């Protein structure tokens, strides 16, 4: 998808809106990730097993992706604010449902519905941030919004563990409900004035899903799925990789995981700058993914010591994160009447990528060992880079 020319007069970045969108992404990501420190406690409390609690992430992810598909399409028809406000508010109610459910099936129901409400606004948040910025600001803008997901790993999960030590996992769910309400209030206050080119809400311009799925968009979505599998292979299994390779305790991986999250944040910010300042975003994406392929091979095939492996993990996730803002900005560079649909489809494709990472990662780990993660991630990174270089 070709980039447009640089705007002669670039307006100021809408920092208040971007901060509210970042908080919303943080709340959505934390709604599932914050359960990670409490798998054993939840299983004991609810009379079930740890795998059953862990598998809730899969059902949440599926509902997240399906919901985003429909929410993005309908936000183009009726406007984005119903989803920007209703999604976080519904998520808050679901967090209370999880906190107050006495048994496993109640928790499973509310956690699954929470994924649907999260999907109802995450893609729409991206569309809103895109609508309030010009093309050559969108790499940075979407990079800052996506930093909310990275902050979940760096701040959200450790903070949940710290708070949960005093108030338990149910109390943490109640705190997340308050956080979701805060995100809704932030979006309410910062979107009172419509975006300059906002569509929907009675506009005569209505895009269909078929008109959104052009060849370039399908190619970008395929690139995004491959990139998310690469990201998921590392982010889901990095702690286990360190524990198995270096015989670390759960406490021993805390600092490496914090550095890993910092690499994701720094890469996302750097990627936003490159996406807006270099002439071809897809070349940025391809270069970052090819570099991450080399880093993946080094990370999983060469393990001389813990410090080196952690440094390679930082490098791998940093390079991977550089690619994402360029991809997101290219996806956002579509007509306003289908932008919500396209960015909703992006969240759906990302959910497929996460499921693929969990599925392929588990199969490869059981059948071959962690060393095989390197060739798998490198191959997928090369495929995504080649897709980016086709007809740019």
Q: Residue 166 pLDDT > 90, yes or no?
A: no
CA distance 159 to 163: 6
CA distance 303 to 288: 23
Q: Residue 209 pLDDT > 60, yes or no?
A: no
What is the pTM (predicted TM-score) of this model? 0.80
CATH 1.20.1250.20 domain range(s) in the chain: 14-194, 209-392
Most confident of 158-162, 271-275, 357-361: 271-275
Q: How many CB atoms lie within 10 A of CB 391?
A: 9
The mean pLDDT of 199-206, rounded to a whole number, is: 44
**Residues 228-252: tens digit of each pLDDT:** 999 888 887 887 788 888 988 767 7
The mean pLDDT of 47-57, rounded to a whole number, is: 81
Q: Identify the CATH assignment for 209-392 out of 1.20.1250.20, 1.10.10.10, 2.160.10.10, 3.40.50.720.
A: 1.20.1250.20
Concatenated DSSP letters of 79-95: -SHHHHHHHHHHHHHHH
Please tell me the predicted confidence (pLDDT) of residue 256: 86
In this structure, are residues 267 and 153 in contact, taking their beta carbons and an 8 Å threshold?
no
CA distance 328 to 343: 8
CA distance 346 to 243: 33
CA distance 153 to 92: 20
CA 122 to chain centre: 9
Q: Residue 268 pLDDT > 70, yes or no?
A: yes
User: What's the token pair of residue 173?
Assistant: 């769910």
Higher pLDDT, 4 or 68: 68
Binned at pLDDT 50, 70 and 90, residue 34 comes out as confident
Q: Residue 5 pLDDT > 60, yes or no?
A: no
Q: What percent of the chain has pLDDT over 70?
A: 92
Please tell me the predicted confidence (pLDDT) of residue 32: 84
| H-helix segments, 132-214 | 138-151, 157-190, 209-212
* Cβ-based neighbours of 387, under 8 Å, separated by 6 or more: 219, 222, 223, 226
CA distance 348 to 225: 9
Q: Domain spanning 14-194 has what CATH number?
A: 1.20.1250.20
């Amino acid at each position: 998808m070709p980039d447009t020319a640089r705007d002669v007069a670039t307006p100021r970045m809408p920092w208040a809106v971007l901060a509210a969108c970042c908080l919303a992404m943080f709340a959505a990501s934390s709604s599932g990730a914050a359960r990670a420190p409490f798998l054993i406690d939840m299983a004991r409390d609810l009379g079930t097993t740890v795998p059953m609690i862990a598998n809730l992430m899969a059902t949440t992810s599926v509902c997240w992706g399906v919901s985003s598909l429909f929410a993005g399409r309908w936000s183009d028809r009726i406007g984005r604010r119903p989803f920007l406000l209703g999604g976080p508010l519904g998520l808050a109610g679901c967090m209370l449902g999880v906190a107050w459910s006495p048994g496993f099936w109640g928790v499973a129901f509310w956690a699954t519905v929470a994924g649907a409400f999260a999907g109802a606004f995450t893609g729409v948040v991206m569309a809103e941030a895109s609508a309030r910025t010009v093309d050559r600001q969108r790499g940075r803008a979407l990079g800052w919004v996506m930093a909310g997901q990275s902050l979940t790993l760096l701040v959200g999960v450790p903070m949940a563990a710290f708070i949960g030590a005093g108030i338990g996992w149910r109390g943490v769910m109640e705190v997340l409900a308050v956080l979701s309400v805060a995100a809704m209030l932030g979006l309410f206050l910062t979107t009172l004035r419509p975006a300059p080119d906002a569509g929907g809400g009675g506009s005569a311009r209505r895009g269909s899903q078929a008109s959104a799925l052009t060849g370039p968009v399908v190619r970008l979505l395929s690139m995004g799925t491959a990139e998310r599998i690469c990201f998921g292979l590392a982010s889901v299994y990095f702690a286990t990789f360190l524990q198995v390779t270096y015989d670390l305790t759960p406490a021993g991986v805390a600092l490496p995981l914090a550095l890993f999250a910092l690499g994701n944040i720094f890469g996302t910010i750097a990627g936003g700058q490159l996406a807006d300042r270099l002439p071809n975003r897809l070349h940025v994406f391809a270069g970052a993914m090819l570099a991450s392929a080399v880093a993946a091979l080094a990370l999983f095939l060469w393990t001389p010591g813990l410090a080196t492996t952690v440094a390679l993990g930082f490098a791998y996730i940093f390079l991977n994160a550089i690619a994402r803002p360029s991809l997101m900005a290219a996806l956002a560079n579509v007509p306003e009447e289908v932008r919500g649909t396209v960015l909703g489809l992006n969240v759906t494709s990302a959910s497929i990528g996460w499921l693929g990472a969990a599925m392929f990662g588990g199969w490869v780990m059981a059948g071959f060992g962690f060393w095989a993660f390197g060739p798998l991630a490198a191959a997928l990174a090369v495929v995504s880079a080649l897709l980016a270089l086709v007809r740019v």
